[in-house]
Each structure stands twice: as C-alpha cells, then as structure tokens.
Structure 1
Amino acid sequence: MMEEEKDDIFEDGISEDAALDGENNGLYEHLSLTVEKGQEPLRIDKYLMLFRQNATRNKISQSCRAGNVVVNGKAVKQNYRVKPGDEISVLLARPPRENVIIPQDIPINIVYEDDDLLVVDKEAGIVVHPGHGNWEGTLVNALAFHFQKEGVKTDLDRIGLVHRIDKDTSGLLVVAKNEYALSYLAKQFFDHTTRRLYWAFVWGNIDSDEGTIEGNIGRHQKNRMQMAVYEDGSHGKHAVTHYRVLERFRYMTWVECRLETGRTHQIRAHFRHIGHTLFNDERYEGNIILRGINLPRYRQFVQNVFEVLPRHALHAHTLGFVHPVTRKEMYFESPMPQDMQEAVERWRKYLAAN
C-alpha cells in the first residue's frame, strides 16, 4: 500500500509525526508546538482550534479526557490555560475524508464487541480502508454495513480505525465506536504499549533461535512500492523488530515477531534486509523459489504451496490493549488461518519424506 499523503493543515513552525502500526500507515498525528511570547491566557481547547482547522472543541476535549494533550510533559484538562513558553504535545484524529463510505454486506469475523469498540479477525485479501483504487469491498465498507444493520450510533465522522494491516495480512484489528475510545486507543498504539505478536513464514533457515533486527525504514529510493532499510540512518525512521523461531522447515522458517516500533511494512522490509524475505511476498520478491539442495521435485512442491498460500505469509496473531472505559486489559488471539496451516502441514510431510 502506498503511503498516504499527509493532510496539509499545519501552520509554519509546527511539527507532526504519524503514529504507525506494525504494517501500515496510522490514522493519527502527533502535533507539537510551543506557545509564543505575548500569548494571553487562553483555554487550551480554544487555543488548539487556532491550529486545527478540521478539529472541533468536542474532539479536542475528548483527547484531553483521554490524556492525549500534554503540556510540559504533563497531561492537562480542556480548561487548562496556556501561557508563553508552554510546550504542547497532542494526538488527534485526522480530519474526515470527503469520500462517502458505502455500506456493503461483506462477511466479517467480529470476535468481540461492546458499546465502545469491536475487534475484527480480518481475512487475507481484504483491503482495510478505501483508497488508491479500492473504494469498495473493504473492511470499512463492511463495518459501515454492520453499524447500519445493528443500529449502532457513533459520534465519529468516519469508521474508527485505530490501526491497519496490509490487504494480504490476516489477523486482529481493533475499531473504536466513539471519539473518546478512538483517542484513548490511538494513544496506546502511539506509545507502543499494546501487546501484539505476528506470525510469519520467511525464506531460509535463520541462524539464531531468537534475535533483533534494527535499521531505519523508509521509502525505497527506486521502487516506491517498497520500503527499504537504511542502517546508516540516512533515510526513514528508527525501527526495531524482535523475533523468535517457532519451527524450522530447512528452507523456510516460522517466526514470531514483536514490534518495538511500528513502521510501514516493517516486518517485510526487515526480514528481506537480513536475507529472509517473507514466503510468497511478491512485492519483495518472496515469490522466487529458494533453491533446494538434492530434494526431488522440490520446485514443483514449492509451487504447489504457493497455490495453497497465494499471499505473503504474515498473520497478526495477538492483540492486547487497555479498554478505554473499563480500564481492564483486553487480550485476543487469532488462530493460524487455514492457508498458512495448510502450508505448514505440507512442509512437514514433505521434509519427513525427504
């Protein structure tokens, strides 16, 4: 998925940074600014509206309640009065897009739902959010239909996606139903306090049973559809991926990944960088068969596995977060999808016979 264009709503001198999830662009922006000299005392909700053309006082107040408006390192309420020299840091939702979301009756697997949020176990092949030629048939279209059918009323301008995963990545996503839940959950993703583990199949036999991959991730200089790793820090943003081997298949390895940071295509780019591209990841040339040594009918076997698993082998296995209202820890696990499970079983049988 190509990186989204940032909304041009910031005044000169204000910096912003996207809060990204493990595989895709995030939906929230970190706004930082310093109150100028001569500024008279003014409620912070009114003050921030001077810099956010698409934000309402209600949205800013919701962010204050969620602890997402920080002044000089401390969360403040909406009635805080700014003064010259105050360092303000804010996490707010991006303004709504003009495109109308069309509700569509598309089956989705909702594993949990209450008045504030729901958790979806997404199938591979479904785009999460409309855009770039995929305006229909997305998870957002399906959620719009679900909300309409169930009579769910929200105070959101659009579907409350807190994070995203790629079209061909399967697994767990949390969706907010109101502005407060949206802000509260977004803060957890921004601070990387959520509990998320991914399962991936990567080419080759990784040397260590566990390890860490570090290196800035940014847009590839030649292939703009790919992300690349820049160890010297010349481009991109700092990224750290921790992994643990779960099972070895001689020419493919099943790994569990924990992201210390969240960058676009982080797992895909990091593992390609160390020479272990995701299995059947066409965008990163993971659909090129790794040569087998002295294994009969090896190439045909791998091609058959590609047909069983016709997408990059990546699954968002776990998701944990603190509920925005009850403050209880929520934790969910998604079992390995059928296509990845079939691939595992075929590798086991093949290597046992060879």
Structure 2
Amino acid sequence: MKYRREVIKIMSKPRQNPNMEQYKVDKPAELLPFLLSIMSQQSRNSVKSILTRGQVFVNNQEVTKHDFMLEPGYTVTIQKNKAAKAATFEKMNILYEDDAIIVIEKDAGLLSIATEKEKSLTAYKQLMTYVRKINPKNRIYVVHRLDRETSGVMLFAKSEQVKQTLQNGWKDMVKERSYVALVEGILNKREDTITSWLKESKTFKMFSSEKPNDGKKAITHYKVIKANNNLSLLSVYLETGRKNQIRVHMSDIGHPIVGDKKYGSKVNPIGRLGLHAIVLAIKHPVTGELLRFKSDIPKVFLKKR
C-alpha cells in the first residue's frame, strides 16, 4: 500500500507547534495500521501514543479511535509534539512530550513524588497513570524535583537510560534554569550573585556553612524586576542546582521568599510560596536539539499591593 506524503505548515493554530505532516489515503484502511505504515521508523507504542494524545486529524477532524475507517481521498494530518489533550491532570499540565521525555508545568501545592503522608496525588503518579493507559509496560522516571510549594517547569524521562543520560550530564545539558521569586523587603542591590557552601542539618533543613569548602558550592544570580510595598519580584538564575538553594540564599541576604516560614518569612500576602520555575532550556538527551520551555509568571506575583 502506497501513500502520497507532503509536509505543510498550518498557521491557524498559533498555540501549537505549526509543523504538520499530511498524507493522502489511496486505499481503504483502518487508522492505526495506516499510521504504522507511514511512520514505520517509529515503534508501535509511539504511534499509539501519538494517536491517543489527539495529534491525528482526518479531514481536519481530530480522531483517536484506532479502528477508524479511512476511505480513498481522505486526508490524514499528524501534528508534531502536541501536549497531551486526552488526559486530565490535577494541579499540572503537559508542556511537551516525545518518546524520550515529558515536560510539565506544575502548580504550587503538588508534590513531585510521593512522601510518607502523600502517595497518590503527585506529579509522578499522575504521569505514570497517563503513560500506562497507552501501554501497561510504560514508565516514567524522575530527573529532578521541585519543592511542593514551588510551581513551574519540571522534566521527566521515559526510560532509565534517558534518566541516566540527563542526570549524569545535567550540568552540561542544562543551558538555562531560571526562576522568579517574590521576596520580602526592598533590596539595596538591583542585581547580585550569592555564593555559599550548602549543608543539610539533622532536621533536613539546608543552611550555608560559615567555612569555605564545607558542603556543596551553590551559586545564585538575581536581578530585581520590580519592587513595591516592601516586596520585591526577582529574576533568579541558578548556576548550580542545590536543594532549597534559592530559599536559603534569599534568607541569607535578609530577604526570605514570601510564604517561606522554614527560612524566615514573616508575611504571605499571596497565600503560597513565592517561587516559580519559569524557564528550563536543555539539550535533548537523544537528538541533541536545544529545547526551551517557559511558564508564565503566576498572576498573583504581579498584583499591585
């Protein structure tokens, strides 16, 4: 069975990746076998995943049924790298997904992985359920974490090999990792770099050691975006990625993050921790392509007070 193929661009859906692949049907066929034929370079699970995520359109209508019957003259369009549409998540959504990775946008209040007190409602659990709907053998793997009350961009791997590639090469593969932080007070310096050696106490609280080389070196760069009513909104760039690094460093300079009682915050006008992972730019662990994921600043951070 032969199919004619042409690559086109659809500009009517600006929120999605504009790259589309379009195929003309010459002979009657069910949709899944048709897709397996034209996407022979991809695994069956990958093709089924693309179909389940709502990336396939027949005559401009989204179709997810594997046995949908195609007739000669029909047009099948495949939308590349579309975030999951068929799945419903709580306190998170998918920004990007392919065969190797899933990138999510996590809300404040959602755990990255399970704890003794919370085992069900986590980003990890929801994604595991999602990928196993496509194939019960599918799994996801934690690459890095965000604190429960920190929102923003977070990356997961779809295989142990990809996880190891990312974690072993994290320093070289991550090209940008930045946050926005709402902190107490008005900073004297509009921008600065904070460097210290971080250690963890017996109560699992991170702190900066007074001794050089005593702990893990942590480097944080910040720049003031705006300030009013004794609060400052900062753009924060991590040169290193230590546990609670930004929270400790902001506390160290006398400007703890809003809502962060653990590290000295006294006020919480926004009802949550004032920390958001806004950008993650990384070299793809398989293709080497540079990918940049961005999440909007939470509106509550920007409200005038």
* 2:230 is the counterpart of 1:275: no
Correspondence list, 1:1-354, <5 A: 106-107=89-90, 108-151=92-135, 153-154=137-138, 159-191=140-172, 193-220=174-201, 224-233=203-212, 235-286=214-265, 288-289=266-267, 306=269, 309-337=270-298, 341-347=299-305
Q: What amino acid maps onto 1:325 in structure 2?
A: V
Q: Closer, same or farther in 2 for the Cα pair 1:192/1:208, shift >3 Å?
A: farther
TM-score by length of 2: 0.66
d(CA) in 2 for partners of 1:192 and 1:247?
31
The superposition leaves residues 164-217 of structure 1 with CA deviations (integer Å, 9 ceiling, x where unpaired) of 010000000111111232122223324473311010011111111110001111
Q: After the TM superposition, which parts of structure 1 deviate over 6 Å for at least 4 consecutive aligned residues? A: none
User: Partner of 2:216: helix, strand, or coil?
Assistant: coil
Q: Which has the higher contact order (CA 8 A, sep 6+)?
A: 1
Aligned-residue CA RMSD (Å): 2.1
Q: What amino acid maps onto 1:142 in structure 2?
A: Q
Higher strand share: 2
The superposition leaves residues 314-348 of structure 1 with CA deviations (integer Å, 9 ceiling, x where unpaired) of 000001111122211000100012xxx2342232x
Q: What amino acid maps onto 1:326 in structure 2?
A: T
Q: CA deviation at 1:152?
A: 7.0
User: Partner of 2:220: helix, strand, or coil?
Assistant: strand
Give the fraction of aligned pairs with identical amino acids, expressed as a percent.
32
Paired residues of 1:272 and 1:284 also in contact (CA < 8 A): yes
Q: CA deviation at 1:132?
A: 3.2
Q: What amino acid maps onto 1:311 in structure 2?
A: R
Q: CA deviation at 1:125?
A: 0.3
Q: What amino acid maps onto 2:240 in structure 1?
A: T
Aligned pair count? 218
Unaligned 5+ segments in structure 2 are 1-86
* Equivalent residue, structure 2, for 1:78: none
User: Partner of 1:256: helix, strand, or coil?
Assistant: strand
Q: What amino acid maps onto 1:179 in structure 2?
A: E
User: Partner of 1:233: helix, strand, or coil?
Assistant: coil
Unaligned 5+ segments in structure 1 are 1-103, 290-304, 348-354
TM-score by length of 1: 0.58
